[in-house]
Every structure is written in C-alpha cells, then in structure tokens.
C-alpha cells in the first residue's frame, strides 16, 4: 500500500485593512504559520476573484481579520461576510474548517471584543471550529509583558496607533499564527 506523503496544512488569512495595522498583523500571522510548516496565503477581501475564493475554500484553517470600527467589524469586511451568505453558507462549504479571528483598535479595550464576537458567530454560522487565544499576559505572568495586552481570549486583539503595532502586539500576532498552524496540523490527522 502506498501512503501519500503528509503535506502541511493550508491557512488562509482573509482580511480587510484601512490604514495598515491589520495588513501588518496578517503578515505576521502568515509568517509564523509558515514557520510551523503550513502554507499561508493572504487574501484581501476587498479584491476577491474566483482564484482568491478558491484559496479560501481550499484552506484547512481560515483566519478572519478586520479593524474594529465603531465597535464592530469594518464595513469592508462585513461586505465579505455577507457575500458568503448564499452558496457558501447553504452548501456548508466551510463546515469543519478551523477558524480564528483578529482585530485592531486604537484603544486597549476599544470594544474589540465585540468584533471578535461577530467574527466567531460568523464562523459558527458556517459550521466552523473556533480557535481562541491561549496566551496569558502580564501582570499574571510578568515575563509576558506586552502579550495579549487587552486580556482578550476569544481571538487576537492588537493595539495600533500612528506608529504601528507595539512589540508585544507583534509578538502576540506571531504566537497566534503559530497556534493556528499547529491546530491545523492536528486537525489534519
């Protein structure tokens, strides 16, 4: 009997970014996922084509990323969510894929949890399996200063201002990318 060689899991990162913070976060997640042996593709949801839809449909895990605008997903991302409400939803095309969510806001709290809740409900609508945040930051673990700054466990919530992401938020994004890839690797078995 010939056993097909195991290939790494496919991770698609479907994101919208207005001013670059989510693009940066998406890139960090992708790099970290690749470092764990996954194939990771970035998909800007405002530029969807048949090819980019296929990348998402073929993924084992999909990470959804949007800035928090007015306490929820940005309209650019919501349009993508709504575009999946017909065939993709009805035909259960994403059922049993892994899902994760990430968001950025200018404030540490910033109602970012509300965005992650919207993303997780979106994933549940599609019958997906949600991956949350694992890292406990400071002050519980002092050595984790800057990681998971807002103490958000539903997904990755980063703080962004005009000078970009903090070092801790960048590190959190990398850890989140590793977590998604490792989960996808386990999910493949």
Ligand X SMILES: Cc1cc2nc3c(=O)[nH]c(=O)nc-3n(C[C@H](O)[C@H](O)[C@H](O)COP(=O)(O)O)c2cc1C
Residues that bind ligand X (CB under 6 A): 17-22, 67-71, 104-107, 110-111, 160
Q: How far is the CB of 56 from ligand X (least distance, A)?
A: 19
Q: How far is the CB of 66 from ligand X (least distance, A)?
A: 8
DSSP letters, 2-50, are PPPPP-PPEEEEEE--SSSHHHHHHHHHHHHHHHTT-EEEEEEGGG--H
Q: How far is the CB of 22 from ligand X (least distance, A)?
A: 3
C-beta of 10 vs 68, nearer to ligand X: 68
C-beta of 77 vs 94, nearer to ligand X: 77
What is the biggest distance separating any 2 CA atoms in the chain, rounded to whole angstroms? Answer: 58
Query: Is 127 within 8 Å of 96 (Cβ atoms)?
Result: yes
Q: How far is the CB of 27 from ligand X (least distance, A)?
A: 11
The residues that bridge with 101 in the sheet, in sequence order, are 64
Q: List, in sequence order, the alpha helices (H) in 36-107.
A: 50-58, 75-83, 87-90
C-beta of 31 vs 89, nearer to ligand X: 31
C-beta of 68 vs 148, nearer to ligand X: 68
């Amino acid at each position: 009997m010939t056993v097909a060689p195991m290939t790494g899991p496919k991770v698609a990162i479907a994101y919208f970014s207005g001013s670059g913070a989510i693009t940066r976060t998406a890139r960090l997640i992708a790099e970290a996922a690749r470092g764990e042996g996954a194939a990771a593709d970035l998909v800007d949801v405002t530029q969807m084509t048949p090819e980019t839809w296929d990348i998402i449909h073929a993924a084992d895990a999909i990470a959804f990323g949007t800035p928090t605008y007015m306490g929820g997903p940005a309209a650019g991302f919501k349009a993508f969510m709504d575009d999946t409400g017909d065939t993709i939803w009805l035909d259960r095309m994403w059922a049993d894929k892994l899902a994760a969510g990430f968001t950025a806001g200018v404030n540490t709290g910033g109602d970012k949890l509300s965005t992650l809740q919207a993303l997780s409900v979106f994933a549940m609508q599609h019958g997906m399996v949600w991956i949350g945040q694992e890292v406990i930051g400071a002050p519980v673990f002092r050595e984790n200063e800057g990681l998971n700054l807002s103490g958000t466990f539903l997904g990755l919530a980063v703080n962004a201002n005009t000078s970009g992401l903090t070092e801790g938020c960048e590190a959190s994004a990398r850890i989140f990318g590793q977590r998604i890839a490792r989960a996808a690797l386990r999910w493949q078995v």
